[in-house]
Structure 1
Amino acid sequence: MASQGNRRITDVGTLKAFGHPLRMKLYRALYIARTATASQLADQVDEAVSLVSYHLRKLAAHGLIEEAEAQGRDGRERWWRPTSDGITYGRADFEGAPERVAVHQAVTRLLLDQRAELHRGYLDAQSAWSPEWNQAAFSGEYMASLTAAELKELDQELGAVLGRFKERGEAAAAAGDTEGREHVAVHLSGFPFRV
């Protein structure tokens, strides 16, 4: 990846560009693969290569992905990679205009839908996973009475823990230790609610 750390999206144009269902899936697939061609990604998302290429160019136009060094013998294919370790965005960056808030909400809802779809996919395919993986998988809901500052602190601490596990997995993969490793999604949300 070109730079380490997350890229914070603060402009509505980039958020709109990311907030397309296929682009979100392509970004996720590219993030997991680290580098890939439009053909490889098209196979993963079951779309035409020309459509995937178009959407990859849109992501690149907003600096979310970039061309990567060619791999393999076929120098004609374009390789892509993410420009950062991930993407973040927050409502505070889009307040002040109703249309900006609406874009933030729409993208966040779409991301939530895709996360739920990913989890449902695991649930539908549970019988194909080993007992070891099914016992390791988790889903929970935790409730606490916190202040806004405590919720922010919780987010930072959970992010640090997940970051350590991500680094451990990347180091192992770089060392060739891929036995028994699978892609794992951890979705966390912390938000206030009233009953």
Structure 2
Amino acid sequence: MEDISVITAVHHPLRRRIHDYLLLYGTCQVTTLARALDSQVGSISHHLRMLERAGIVERAEDPNGDRRTSWWRLARRGISWSADDFADSPADALLAREAQRQGIRMQIDKLQRWHRRHGDPAVAEYDGSNTETTAWATPDELRDLSARIISTLREWQESIDTDDGQARTPVFFFAHAFPTEP
């Protein structure tokens, strides 16, 4: 189970963008992050320290050996959790539910931006996917489904050779599985 500090650290909007940038582009300088995310260096540094305390990012060596610049990288690739993990602590459960709401809003915002961009020539060759189904499952079967999806995504990510010279654009995948009714 994730610590609530990890969940709340990642689900701050700017910290989530920092996480996603480092996930896509790898180790980089604070000034690069600030420029890419249209934020102030001081703000980025503050949020990096928050992510560092939660064990999400870590300081990295400057590839040029210059100790005057601050370089950062991800310490881990992702987190997986449920608000139900925090049922024993009402305060943590409240924080987890709010982080969950923020995460869902971010996912929906990204999806809506994609739909607005769909005619954009820069992404015209990409077909966004929409996959959904309804089935019967026990709680253990639903946990198994989640573990299989995570495993498949990690295997797929690791199979991509980003040094093969092909042009790529960042893609976002999200899935939710939950009890429902017709």
Same fold flag (TM > 0.5) = yes
Query: Does residue 132 of structure 1 match 2:119?
Result: no
Out of 31, 36, 44, the residue aligned to residue 36 of structure 2 is 44
> Normalising to structure 2: TM-score of the pair?
0.88
- Counterparts of 1:79-98 in structure 2 under 5 Å? 79-98=71-90
Deviation of residue 139 (structure 1)? 1.7
Report deviation, 1:181. 2.3
Q: Distance in 2 between matches of 1:27 and 1:132?
A: 27
- Whole-Å Cα distance in 2 between the matches of residues 89 and 156 of structure 1? 11
Contact 2:27 2:60 (C-alpha < 8 Å) held by counterparts? yes
- In structure 2, the residue matched to 1:29 is 21
Q: Among 90, 110, 129, which residue is 2:102 paired with? A: 110
In structure 2, relative to structure 1, the CA distance for the partners of 1:178 and 1:151 (3 Å cut) is farther
Q: Which has the higher contact order (CA 8 A, sep 6+)?
A: 1
* Residues 131, 25 of structure 1: alpha-carbon distance in 2 compared, 3 angstrom cutoff: closer
SS at match of 1:80: strand
- TM-score in terms of structure 1 length: 0.83
SS in 1 for 2:62: coil
| Residue 153 of structure 2: aligned partner | 162
User: Paired residues, what number?
Assistant: 181
Provide the C-alpha distance between the structure 1 equivalents of 2:88 and 2:55, rounded to a whole number of angstroms. 24
Moved over 3 A (4+): 72-75
- Relative to structure 1, the CA distance from residue 14 to residue 153 in structure 2 (aligned partners, 3 Å threshold; closer, same or farther) is closer
* CA displacement 1:132-169 (0-9 Å, x = unmatched): 313xx212322222222222222222222212211111
Distance in 2 (CA, whole Å) between partners of 1:29 and 1:99 is 30
Amino acid at match of 1:163: R
Letter in 2 for 1:186: F
Give the Cα–Cα distance (whole angstroms) in 1 for the partners of residues 126 and 146 of structure 2. Answer: 26
User: 2:132 — aligned with what?
Assistant: 141
**Correspondent of 1:58 among 47, 50, 55:** 50
Query: Shift in Å at residue 130 of structure 1?
Result: 4.4
**Alpha-carbon shift at residue 13 of structure 1 (Å):** 2.9
For residues 161-183 of structure 1, what are the alpha-carbon distances to aligned partners after superposition, in whole Å with 9 as ceiling and x for unaligned?
212211111xx12xx21413222
Identify unmatched segments of 5+ residues in structure 2.
Answer: none
Q: Secondary structure at the match of 2:68?
A: coil
Identity percentage over the alignment? Answer: 25
Deviation string 1:4-36 (CA, Å, 9 cap, x unpaired) is xxxx52x22333333322111111111211212
> What 5-or-longer segments of structure 1 have no aligned partner?
1-7
Tell me how large the CA RMSD over aligned residues is.
1.9
Amino acid at match of 1:37: Q
Bigger drift between 143-152 and 48-57 goes to 143-152
What is the aligned partner in structure 2 of residue 188 from structure 1?
A: 175
Would you say the 8 A contact 2:118–2:124 is kept in 1?
no
